[in-house]
Amino acid sequence: MSNTAQELKAEILRLTRDYSALVHRANRAGTENSVPFEPGKTTVPYAGRVFDQDEVEAAVGATLDFWLTLGPEGEAFERELAGFLGVKHSLLVNSGSSANLIAIAALTTHKLPANRRVQPGDEVITVAAGFPTTVAPILQVGAVPVFIDNDPATGNARVEQLEAAFSPGKTKAVMMAHALGNPFDLSSVLEFCRRHDLWLIEDNCDALGCTYSMPIARANALGIIENSPGIPANGTHVTRYTGTWGDISTQSFYPPHHLTMGEGGAVNLVSRPPLKTYAASFRDWGRDCWCASGKDDTCGKRFNWKLGELPRGYDHKYIYSHLGYNLKPLDPQAAIGRQQLKKLPAFIEARKRNWEVLREGLAEFADKFDFTLPTHATGWTPEGFTWDATGCRTECSWFGFMLRVKPGAGFTHTDLARHLESKKIGNRMFFGGNLLRQPVFVQLRKDRPSSFRVLGAMPGADEIMERALFLGTYPGLTTTMLEYELQVIRDFVRQA
């Protein structure tokens, strides 16, 4: 690049920062330059983008370079995300839903041993209440989801049902999400998966930055000894980020999530390097070649392969071993994600702090609401949580603050949701609620009754569907916004 071009680019980026500082004030909530909040007039979103001039400059800079398709920014973000989590590889995709699809598709490859390969008709254990694209990919690859119930207190799976859901010779994997930034019982799930030689896919889309700890003796028994980067060892427990305990995990970078690229997601390959090659193949059209975009002959024998019934020497860049997709994001998105990743530790702390403000602010209404507890917690006080006897602990990077309206409260969760909406306070139900009640699964039960299996009644998932909603905890919430939310809820409950 000539000096003139470099100078011109620098001036464009300087002006870009000035522009962003002028027009994106609302996205810098919590800073002195942010837009003032007006209760009842300004919307309190349940989630949203928090960014500053850094992200806008990065996006414009990458666009000026006009690589566009996934390239150097994407490669850098993949390395940086993997380094943050402490996994072997992270692979960028265009959404968290695509990440879930690639994660399960990677386990269908013929390159795996037959007893580990997920094939049509094989079963994958999952949980009934949650977001549909945790489950949809299981069906999309021809496998059979087996539904177990949720514990309403945590939003996560009732792990005591895992054994009853297991079918020898058919069950190949467990795939479930850490609900709203609350880690599921990884100790129990890992023990189950180890005992039956099953894959574990962690849907970590709502839980980036959560940690799970277990006593060292327990971790050693499960073959787990390493800590994640940035998490100091304390000599008694192994502590790692969620998304690093199973075989594969997934992330979403849609705006409500812990960091954003606009659209985007990632597949994290925890410790088995070959899985990265399989996942990349399914992401990149199903090709056998592993060269990155714009690179040729990484293997050094591009015209010396003999695969399938192709002639020897057929161009390896056009050899396909899988029925794949094209699910890459763009390089400017990755440039944004790199800047967001730098802010992630502060985002995580803000989410924890906002959850605590809401919990303490609504503590007086324990007769009206059942409140979510972190997995392994037995109770909450303003001083902290009490814990069960397992020795395992969770530290939640909360996606949302979920509560359940008690049956005798005098109002329903829908009544509360409508009132909050009328006061411009964003809120959400727990995604799809009991997915088995959704029209798509009702119809699927009629059309193909053997396409999924349900482990009895789902009272926990139904309770979440009928009683739960959640408020935001995202970093853009200010003290004034949270105080307004709390006052609106207090007034509503007292008048009900």
CB 33 within 8 A of CB 21: yes
Residue 132's domain spans which residues?
72-318
- Rounded average pLDDT over 77-97: 97
Contact 278, 98 (CB under 8 A): no
The one-character DSSP state at 46 is S
Kindly state whether residues 177 and 274 are assigned to the same domain.
yes
pLDDT at residue 360 is higher than 70: yes
- pTM exceeds 0.75 for this model: yes
Residue % of the chain over a pLDDT of 70: 99
Q: Give the domain-ending residue among 303, 318, 333.
A: 318
State the CATH number of the domain containing residue 110: 3.40.640.10
Answer yes or no: is 7 within a domain.
no
pLDDT band at 30 (very low <50, low <70, confident <90, very high): low
pLDDT digits (tens, 9 = 90+) for 223-262: 997 788 889 888 899 999 999 999 999 999 999 999 999 9
Residues 264 and 387 in one domain: no
- If one compares 29 and 303, the residue with the highest pLDDT of the two is 303
Percentage of residues in the chain with pLDDT exceeding 90? 92
CA distances for 112 relative to 105, 285, 344, 468, angstroms: 12, 19, 35, 41
CATH assignment of the domain containing 464: 3.90.1150.10
On whether residue 39 sits in a domain, the answer given is no
Residue 29 — pLDDT band, cuts 50, 70, 90?
low
Residues 312 and 355 in one domain: no
Q: Would you name the residues annotated as active-site residues?
A: 257
Q: For residues 295 and 406, state if they share a domain.
A: no
Per-residue model confidence as pLDDT tens digits over 421-450: 999 999 999 999 999 999 999 999 999 999
Taking the CB of residue 225, how many other CB atoms lie within 10 A of it? 9
The predicted-structure confidence for 366-404, as pLDDT tens digits, reads as follows 999 999 999 999 999 999 999 999 999 999 999 999 999
How is the beta sheet containing 393-395 ordered, strand by strand?
237-241, 211-215, 393-395
**Mean pLDDT, rounded, of the chain:** 96
pLDDT band at residue 58 under the 50/70/90 scheme:
very high
User: 260 and 373, same structural domain?
Assistant: no
User: Same structural domain for residues 302 and 353?
Assistant: no
CA distances from 153 to 161, 262, 372, 432, 453 (A): 16, 32, 5, 17, 24
> What is the tens place of the pLDDT at every residue in 240-249?
999 999 999 9
In this prediction, residue 31 carries a pLDDT of: 56
Answer yes or no: do 295 and 380 share one domain: no
Looking at the structure, tell me whether residues 356 and 425 fall in a common domain.
yes
| Residue 11 CB contacts under 8 Å (≥ 6 apart), including other chains | none
Q: What is the pLDDT of residue 225?
A: 79
Q: Residues 295, 359: one domain?
A: no
- Evaluate if residue 358 carries a pLDDT over 70: yes
Average pLDDT over residues 115-120: 97
